[in-house]
Amino acid sequence: MNESLTDRLARLRREGKGASRGERGRQGIPERERHAALPVWLRKKMEARTARGAAERSAEGSGAGARRAGLPEGLERHSNERGGFLARTRRFPATHLHGEGSLADAFAIVPADTAILARDPGLAAFDARRAIYLDVETTGLSGGAGTTSFLVALGTFEADTFVLWQGFLEGPEQESAMLADVAARVAAADCVVSFFGKSFDRHRLEDKMRMHAVAPPFEDRGHLDLYHPLRRLYGGCFEDTRLQTMERELCGVVRPHDLPGRFAPEAWLDFLGGRAHRLEEVFQHNQDDVLSLVTLTAHLGRALLGSRPDGGALPGPGEPRRFGAAKLVAEAGELERALALCEGLEDREARFLRARLLAKLGRFESAFREQVRLAEGERDRLALRAAIEASKIAEHALGRPDDALVTCRRALELAAVVLPGGSRGREERELRHRESRLLRRRSCLER
């Protein structure tokens, strides 16, 4: 398959400065010459890696397992029309516990809810059994010819067994063969599941597939990228929104001896250079990532229910999750359901959303009272927004110009306090215009 001009330009934009012109044009080399003639970009990385010395190599993360020589355990040789590569396959029963939940919990999700939370109607028929769970380990973050996905993990369910396949490059010349196998496996699934994969994993693989004339399989199937919906539900609740933070807080997964992913490139370069390495730990890290994709899918798919498949409470901070879910459900047009999610929430932003939902549902008196309570509380931007909303409801929905005037003047008072100069002037002009209109209307009613 020839790479089109559009595809090539898109790839080059993503590459940025990640590789020189010479590096981008370099092809794989024969296997027999692997150690004698590595690509320039890889040789430079290995030379820089060696120069830093053993002390710097183990300065961080040295508490994990020992370095070892040779190939990681359990790898088997695979071949296709493009050549050979290595892969390891491991099988887990669906009842396998990963953290506090089992892999089988993913069978009990609500697909329609998953689609709402992911903002992707195409996922309404999502089936965890027909999905493929993807995670890659690469030599860098920039993309393009200078970045190699040397370990690609793909997980699938076969009946009541979860099969984890990890394709591995013994050398860069095996890239074309492994990518062809990866493409075929992805094409056999209905949907891809990843964590930040829409922005990273997919593009790293697509770029290299096009370079090797392998048809990328991602365009024609759904993609559930867990990072985005989980961030919408829990953003600000934890120190960050990384995969390991989410799996710990939401699934109870703890990795006491994990080798952080940032050490994966170093391990592969050590292996290529014939030095003792920590690739076994990279494989374990990659395996845990994929298992967490399954349990996080199970969590997301029951976030609107708020319960586990066994009826227990869903882990994680419940009120922020309900508020985040309410916003997404309202966005999808399910206003009554969004309102129910807001009930009992004390967060002021959640109460503001509840008031707006009440107004959209035609319950104007309740909406007005809630907005007035918010406007009377703190002296901040939310109080200003609530006062403006209350004034609009009183004037247009309830036909009470006196109430509209009082809340309009409250909004003017708040605008003078909470808004900076430029925006305050614009807001005050609009509120003064509203105030004048309400005064004229009241005058007419009094005649």
Please check the confidence at residue 64 and state whether its pLDDT lies above 80. Answer: no
Average per-residue pLDDT for the chain? 89
pTM of the model: 0.85
Query: How far is Cα 4 from Cα 118, in angstroms, rounded to an integer?
Result: 31
Residue 4's pLDDT band (boundaries 50, 70, 90)? low
Question: Would you state the pLDDT for residue 147?
Answer: 87
Name which of 175, 170, 212 is nearest 34 in CA terms: 170
Of the chain, the percentage scoring pLDDT greater than 70 comes to: 84
Strand-strand pairing, 191-194 and 131-138:
parallel
- Amino acid occupying residue 181: D
Distances (CA, A) of 266 to 15, 58, 87, 290: 21, 10, 20, 21
- Amino acid occupying residue 141: L
Residue 425's pLDDT band (boundaries 50, 70, 90)? confident
Question: Would you state the pLDDT for residue 43?
Answer: 58
Domain 5-56+87-300: CATH architecture, name and number where available = 2-Layer Sandwich (3.30)
Distances (CA, A) of 291 to 100, 107, 313: 12, 14, 21
For residues 346 and 42, the model is more confident at 346
> Tens digits of per-residue pLDDT, 77-95?
999 999 999 999 999 999 9
The three-state secondary structure class of 19 is coil
Domain coordinates in residue numbering, the chain: 5-56+87-300, 350-446
Domain 350-446 has CATH 1.25.40.10: yes
Give the DSSP per-residue string, 22-46. HHHTPPP--GGGTTTS--HHHHHHH
The three-state secondary structure class of 283 is helix
Q: Which of 24-28, 52-56, 290-294 has the highest mean pLDDT?
A: 290-294
Burial class (CB in 10 A: 0-12, 13-18, 19+), 308: middle
> Tens digits of per-residue pLDDT, 234-254?
999 999 999 999 999 999 999
Six-digit token pair at 69?
A: 């020589």
The set of residues, in sequence order, having a beta carbon less than 8 Å from that of 267 and lying 6+ positions away, is 259, 277, 278, 279, 281, 282
Contacts 24+ apart (CB under 8 A), 62-70: 63/257, 64/257, 64/258, 64/259, 64/278, 64/281, 65/257, 65/259, 65/278, 65/280, 65/281, 67/270, 67/275, 67/276, 67/277, 67/278, 68/276, 68/277, 68/278, 68/280, 69/274, 69/275, 69/276, 69/277
Question: Would you state the pLDDT for residue 340?
Answer: 98
Residue 387's pLDDT band (boundaries 50, 70, 90)? very high
The three-state secondary structure class of 83 is strand
Please check the confidence at residue 325 and state whether its pLDDT lies above 70. Answer: yes
Question: Would you state the pLDDT for residue 224?
Answer: 99
> Tens digits of per-residue pLDDT, 185-216?
999 999 999 999 999 999 999 999 999 999 99
Query: How far is Cα 272 from Cα 35, in angstroms, rounded to an integer?
Result: 8
Count of beta carbons in the 10 Å neighbourhood of residue 62? 10
